[in-house]
Chains A and B, each alone.
Chain A
Amino acid sequence: MSNKAAKTKVKKKYNIPGYLFILPSVLFFLFYILYPIGFVGWSSLFSWSTLKNMTFVGTENYIRIFQDKVFLTTMRNSLFWIITTVPIQAGIGFFLAYIIEEQLRKGRGIFRTVFFLPVVTSVVVVAIVWGKMLQPYQGIITHYLSVLGIGGQVNILGMPGTAIFGCIIANIWEWTGWSMIMYVAGMSQISEDMKEAAKIDGATRWKEIIYIYFPSLASTHKSLLMLGIIGSLQTFGLIYTMTGGGPNHASEMPGTYIFQSGFTNQQMGYASALSVVILLFALVLTVFQVKGLGAGEFMRKEAD
């Protein structure tokens, strides 16, 4: 009984230094995440270009979003983006990580570094270089493709049907190294015992990959998927530099469309409404992931 009393006494005490250590992060959160989110939600109910000149329009901006064909294009492009970049980056990244970590004895560091270099390269630089490579006549990609007899001198970034895929290829090149390094980290956590056991049981390389590596890396797959989805929502520099969202909005993504609406067309209210929709998507996904990963669990245990 005395033990219990002591416990409640301790529980009531507040650990002031503990709170002070958390404070800076909370302040950043309040000023630069919570306040902007509140502001964008509020301002999405107005029609405005500057803060001095706002007219209340209620939900008009949101109604417009659901009738907007360009918004539909951004959603379709995001979907293309996710279903192409995520599996391809993960697939190549996994393959590279497997060879480098599990098959190679020498030169691991060199290969890991080389494949990560595109991640380190500025997205604008990536966009300009790929834009040049994809140019007809002067670009090397179309040139070598036509030498091989595949396609003529096509203007990949200039045609509505293909522009988005030109950007997707550049994105895959840039981010495959990130997937690789995440898989490298994941593979280092797989226990040697399990690999040994598989070898003793006479598992072939494919069986080993499918039954040992693939399931053991579940959390890596999941976080790459989440990062890929969020990445598609915030892609901006690549599209802005390579196609500007064109031709005729064909390669528009949420990020570029927000910029176009708010900063080019001066419809800040509409841009705010678009931002709210994007933020909601992100929030739903994050809650989903946080729940899936069971983050915060360890602290709940301690608090009991």
Chain B
Amino acid sequence: MTAKEKRKQVIWSIVLIIITLIFMVPLIFMVSMSLRTPDTIGLPQLFISDVTFKNYANVLKQNPDLWKNFMGSVIVTVTSVALVTICASMAVFGFSRKNVHGKVLIYNILLCTLMVPIAGLVVPITQLNSRLGWINNYLGLIFPYAALGIPFAITILQGFMVGIPEELEEAAVIDGCGIIRLFLQIVCPLLKPGIVVIVIWQFLTSWNEFFLAMCTLTKDSVKTLPLIAQQYNGAYFSQPGTLFAALTLITIPMLVFYMIVQKQFVKGLTAGAVKG
């Protein structure tokens, strides 16, 4: 590296660090608020000098059921992610088979629902759930999330499926490999970078979905975390310290999850033809 280049690197790094600090203000503010005493909570400052962890103790003491809500979010998210992944990878494999007539039509119809806004379906899905008796039942969220996530997942995976050479599959068939083994042992591993992308994307969407969850889950003990955050916003109106401690607790698992998987995510995104 020449001296000039070195200087350039330093300048770009400084520019980025400054932008990063500005960008992080809301998250820093959230944590800072959660560490304050009633005396300092009203001060319009980003940083304060004396720190207390009492707010966190309050949240955990006053909401012994918080872990249930956390588990609720985990159940809804993990199952809908699994359904989306399984159905979408099966579908793209099916689309790649010969003699599946009308597959272009099916694919295009699925594609048309790629961007169905959940806001437009909340009224009918809520009615459907109440008729099935699935109000306050996680199935009432898991199935719609999966249905709305599948088209997007299919478009992502299709990009990877096209890249798999047909000869590879033919060779597998000649070696006496059945269709299920071909799918599980040959195709799925090759789709892996795309699967990583859809798993993470669906994870984020399901974990954070709010509108349908609010109309479907009314009982406190089954509510998912976004609903709990909303509920605390009202309940702790006069105790912002406790509120922000709760928000921090709700946010941390997702941040940790993303930090662990981000490398795979970016790898998957840059590996495949992400068109949509």
By the criterion CB–CB under 8 Å, are A43 and B124 in contact?
A: yes
Besides A26-B110, A29-B109, A139-B44, 9 more A-B contacts (Cβ < 8 Å) are A15-B100, A21-B91, A25-B91, A121-B27, A137-B44, A182-B274, A275-B120, A286-B114, A295-B108
6 A-B pairs (CB sep. < 8 Å): A18-B97, A36-B124, A234-B118, A254-B119, A258-B123, A293-B276
10 residue pairs, one from A and one from B, having the closest CB atoms: A21-B94, A32-B147, A143-B44, A18-B97, A234-B117, A36-B124, A255-B119, A237-B210, A22-B94, A18-B100
User: A66 to chain B: which residues have CB within 8 Å?
Assistant: none
User: A117 to chain B: which residues have CB within 8 Å?
Assistant: 24, 27, 255, 258
By the criterion CB–CB under 8 Å, are A123 and B208 in contact?
A: yes
User: A299 to chain B: which residues have CB within 8 Å?
Assistant: 95, 103-104, 107
Which A residues from 139 to 176 make CB contacts under 8 A with B? 139-140, 142-144, 173
Could you tell me the distance in whole angstroms from the C-beta of A155 to the nearest C-beta in chain B?
A: 14
With A140-B45, A272-B124, A298-B162 in contact, is A22–B91 under 8 Å at CB? yes
Q: Does A303 contact B (CB under 8 A)?
A: yes
Residue-by-residue, is A252-294 near B (CB-CB < 8 Å gives 1, otherwise 0)?
0011001100110000100110011011001101110110010
By the criterion CB–CB under 8 Å, are A14 and B101 in contact?
A: yes
Q: Does A241 contact B (CB under 8 A)?
A: yes
By the criterion CB–CB under 8 Å, are B116 and A282 in contact?
A: yes
Residues of A in contact, count (CB < 8 Å): 110
User: B244 to chain A: which residues have CB within 8 Å?
Assistant: 129, 132
By the criterion CB–CB under 8 Å, are A184 and B269 in contact?
A: yes
Which residue of B33, B86, B226, B240 contacts A237 across the interface (Cβ within 8 Å)?
B226
By the criterion CB–CB under 8 Å, are B147 and A303 in contact?
A: no
By the criterion CB–CB under 8 Å, are B118 and A103 in contact?
A: no
Which A residues from 224 to 261 make CB contacts under 8 A with B? 226-227, 230, 233-237, 240-241, 254-255, 258-259
By the criterion CB–CB under 8 Å, are A282 and B117 in contact?
A: yes
By the criterion CB–CB under 8 Å, are B250 and A125 in contact?
A: yes
Q: In whole angstroms, how far apart are the Cα atoms of A123 and B230 in the complex? A: 10
Chain A residue with the shortest CB-CB distance to B21: A114
Q: In whole angstroms, how far apart are the Cα atoms of A285 and B111 in the complex? A: 12
Q: Interface on chain B toward A: helix, strand, loop, or mixed SS?
A: helix
Could you tell me the distance in whole angstroms from the C-beta of B92 to the nearest C-beta in chain A?
A: 9
Could you tell me the distance in whole angstroms from the C-beta of A149 to the nearest C-beta in chain B?
A: 16
By the criterion CB–CB under 8 Å, are B117 and A230 in contact?
A: yes
Q: In whole angstroms, how far apart are the Cα atoms of A2 and B162 in the complex? A: 30
Q: In whole angstroms, how far apart are the Cα atoms of A230 and B109 in the complex? A: 18
Which B residues from 1 to 45 make CB contacts under 8 A with A? 8-9, 12-13, 15-16, 19-20, 23-27, 29-30, 33, 42-45
Q: In whole angstroms, how far apart are the Cα atoms of A220 and B273 in the complex? A: 11
Q: In whole angstroms, how far apart are the Cα atoms of A103 and B14 in the complex? A: 12
Chain B residue with the shortest CB-CB distance to A287: B112
Q: In whole angstroms, how far apart are the Cα atoms of A118 and B27 in the complex? A: 8
User: B207 to chain A: which residues have CB within 8 Å?
Assistant: 122
Which residue of A138, A234, A263, A275 contacts B215 across the interface (Cβ within 8 Å)?
A263
Q: In whole angstroms, how far apart are the Cα atoms of A17 and B131 in the complex? A: 34
Q: Does A5 contact B (CB under 8 A)?
A: no
Q: Does B136 contact A (CB under 8 A)?
A: no
By the criterion CB–CB under 8 Å, are A14 and B259 in contact?
A: no
Chain A residue with the shortest CB-CB distance to B109: A29
User: B87 to chain A: which residues have CB within 8 Å?
Assistant: 24-25, 28
User: B114 to chain A: which residues have CB within 8 Å?
Assistant: 286, 289-290
Chain B residue with the shortest CB-CB distance to A128: B233
Chain B residue with the shortest CB-CB distance to A176: B23
User: B16 to chain A: which residues have CB within 8 Å?
Assistant: 96, 99-100, 104, 111
Q: Does A37 contact B (CB under 8 A)?
A: yes
By the criterion CB–CB under 8 Å, are B123 and A278 in contact?
A: no
Residue-by-residue, is B203-244 near A (CB-CB < 8 Å gives 1, otherwise 0)?
010011011000100000000011101100100000010011
User: B33 to chain A: which residues have CB within 8 Å?
Assistant: 132
Which residue of B108, B116, B148, B230 contacts A124 across the interface (Cβ within 8 Å)?
B230
Chain B residue with the shortest CB-CB distance to A36: B124
User: A189 to chain B: which residues have CB within 8 Å?
Assistant: 270, 273
By the criterion CB–CB under 8 Å, are B270 and A133 in contact?
A: no
User: A31 to chain B: which residues have CB within 8 Å?
Assistant: 143, 147
Q: Does B71 contact A (CB under 8 A)?
A: no
